């Protein structure tokens, strides 16, 4: 049964090979000063930086730059952006890059005029927004997070050893996002497959919940199967426009709130990975993959029918002559084989974790209650040991 819900997503998406042409008319709606936020060398290597700078200059904008945003954006980097916003009275933050750059931009947006400590206020205490917000827009160059069409912002506080997520209201969503699949062609294989598993993990966090057999589940299953097929195609030919297009749109749909409608949601895998990332700075999707296998093997008895459906509908597991438990286990085994086929990491050692880190990661993980089974600290440590 569909539960009551409200769906509102204000982000305007420009998708396709000529999508950058829409930047100029969009800029007319904002003031003089733009904070251009990006990573290290990728946007310059593909020529996108020069294109964007030319468009901004032609539009008469004053450009302030925040470069060097890292894959797991830190609170220190966020605060660099906060200082630039306040020093230059920035009117728009334009994030050019992947989800980490967009997450950082949204973090800067809400933090610049916060009178208290922003990390404590918004990422730890989850207080409501009560200050001026700087508009954000994005040009996407790597898929996975869905940050281009949601209010999420994941920030790592290095001193506190906490990687925390916050989902802000629709006011913080990017005002517009430009999605050209060609910008994703040069992304290294490791990062591409990491991003695709991030898509899959987002879908599973919403799929494995107590509200089953509604329209949203069918949407999730379709996006999941599309991600499997199109990752295989993209691995064969990284410049296959069709597969890269499908993966880009899958990522956006997987976390623009559409696939969470009428669903209880889990997100415990993400909470564990966030703390893994705080200690190792690993690629997010790879950390999710390693944790997912032992996590789902632990909880599947508590959501048995849904794991049976996952196995049969997504992985094509035959149910003939088998118990539900066997079918569910075979579905998880099929996912593990796919991860290994695609070169996705399935153990923590390869992600830089040490045995000594594991108790600290377990102790600092936020425990949620939206999934089939609420974990205890010992459960989390067991999961980490199982995938070490």
Q: Is residue 211 predicted with pLDDT exceeding 70?
A: no
Share of the chain above pLDDT 90, in %: 95
Burial of residue 87, with CB atoms counted within 10 A of its CB: 0-12 exposed, 13-18 middle, 19 or more buried: exposed
CA nearest to 165, candidates 110, 116, 125, 123: 123
DSSP 344: -
Q: How do residues 36-58 score in pLDDT, each as one tens digit?
A: 999 988 999 999 999 999 999 99
12-183 and 189-386 in the same fold:
no
CB environment 13-52: b (16+ within 10 A), e (fewer): bbbbeebbeebeebbeebeebbbbbbbeebbeebebbeeb
Note the CATH number of domain 12-183: 3.40.50.1970
Q: How wide is the angle at C-alpha 348 spanned by C-alphas 342 and 352, nearest 5°?
A: 105
Distance set, CA 187 to CA 38, 140, 196, 261 (Å): 15, 12, 12, 31
pTM of the model: 0.96
Q: Name 146's Cβ contacts closer than 8 Å, sequence gap at least 6.
A: 99, 152, 199, 202, 251, 252, 253, 254, 255, 256
Q: Which residue has the tokens 């069918």?
A: 218
pLDDT tens-place string over residues 90-149: 999 999 999 999 999 999 999 999 999 999 999 999 999 999 999 999 999 999 999 999
Model pLDDT for residues 28-40, shown as the tens digit of each residue: 999 999 999 999 8
Q: Are 106 and 136 in contact (CB under 8 A)?
A: yes
Q: Are strands 176-179 and 136-140 parallel, antiparallel or unpaired?
A: parallel
HSE, side-chain direction, 13 A CA sphere, residue 332: 23
- Residue 342's pLDDT band, with cuts at 50, 70 and 90, is very high
> Is residue 235 over pLDDT 90?
yes
Q: How far is residue 276's CA from residue 271's CA, in Å, rounded to a whole number?
A: 9
Q: Which CATH number fits domain 189-386: 3.40.190.10, 3.40.50.450, 2.60.40.10, 1.20.1090.10?
A: 1.20.1090.10
Residue ranges covered by each domain of the chain: 12-183, 189-386
C-alpha–C-alpha distance, residues 273 and 384, integer Å: 10
Region of poorest pLDDT, from 62-66, 97-101, 103-107, 260-264: 260-264
Q: What is the mean pLDDT of residues 153-180?
A: 96
| 276-335 confidence digits (pLDDT tens) | 999 999 999 999 999 999 999 999 999 999 999 999 999 999 999 999 999 999 999 999
CB-side neighbour CA atoms (13 Å) of 109: 33
Percentage of residues of the chain with pLDDT beyond 70: 99
């Amino acid at each position: 049964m569909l539960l009551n819900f409200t769906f509102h997503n204000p982000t305007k998406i420009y998708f396709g090979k000529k999508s950058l042409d829409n930047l100029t008319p969009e800029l007319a709606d904002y003031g003089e000063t733009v904070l251009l936020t990006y990573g290290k060398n990728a946007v310059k290597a593909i020529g996108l930086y020069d294109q964007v700078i030319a468009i901004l200059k032609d539009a008469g904008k004053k450009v302030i730059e925040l470069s060097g945003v890292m894959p797991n954006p830190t609170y220190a980097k966020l605060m660099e952006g906060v200082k630039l916003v306040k020093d230059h009275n920035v009117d728009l933050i334009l994030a050019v890059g992947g989800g980490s750059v967009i997450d950082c931009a949204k973090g800067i947006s809400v933090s610049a005029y916060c009178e208290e400590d922003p990390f404590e206020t918004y990422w730890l205490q989850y207080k409501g927004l009560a200050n001026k917000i700087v508009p954000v827009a994005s040009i996407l160059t790597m898929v996975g997070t869905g940050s281009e069409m949601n209010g999420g912002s994941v920030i790592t506080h290095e001193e506190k050893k906490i990687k925390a997520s916050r989902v802000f209201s629709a006011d913080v969503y990017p005002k517009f996002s430009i999605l050209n699949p060609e910008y994703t062609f040069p992304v290294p294989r490791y990062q591409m497959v990491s991003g695709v598993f991030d898509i899959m993990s987002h879908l599973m966090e919403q799929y494995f919940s107590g509200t089953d057999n509604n329209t949203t589940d069918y949407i999730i299953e379709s996006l999941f199967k599309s991600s499997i097929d199109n990752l295989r195609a993209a691995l064969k030919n990284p410049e296959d426009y069709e597969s890269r297009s499908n993966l880009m749109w899958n990522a956006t749909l997987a976390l623009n709130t559409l696939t969470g409608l009428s669903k209880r949601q889990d997100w415990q895998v993400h909470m564990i990975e966030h703390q893994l990332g705080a200690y190792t700075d690993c690629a997010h999707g790879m950390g999710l993959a390693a944790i997912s296998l032992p996590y789902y093997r632990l909880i599947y008895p508590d959501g048995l029918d849904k794991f049976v459906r996952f196995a049969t509908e997504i992985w094509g597991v035959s149910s003939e002559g088998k118990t539900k438990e066997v079918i569910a286990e075979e579905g998880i085994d099929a996912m593990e084989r796919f991860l290994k086929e695609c070169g996705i990491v399935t153990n923590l050692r390869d992600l830089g974790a040490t045995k000594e880190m594991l108790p600290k990661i377990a102790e600092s993980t936020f425990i949620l209650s939206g999934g089939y089974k609420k974990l205890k600290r010992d459960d989390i440590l067991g999961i980490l040991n199982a995938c070490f």
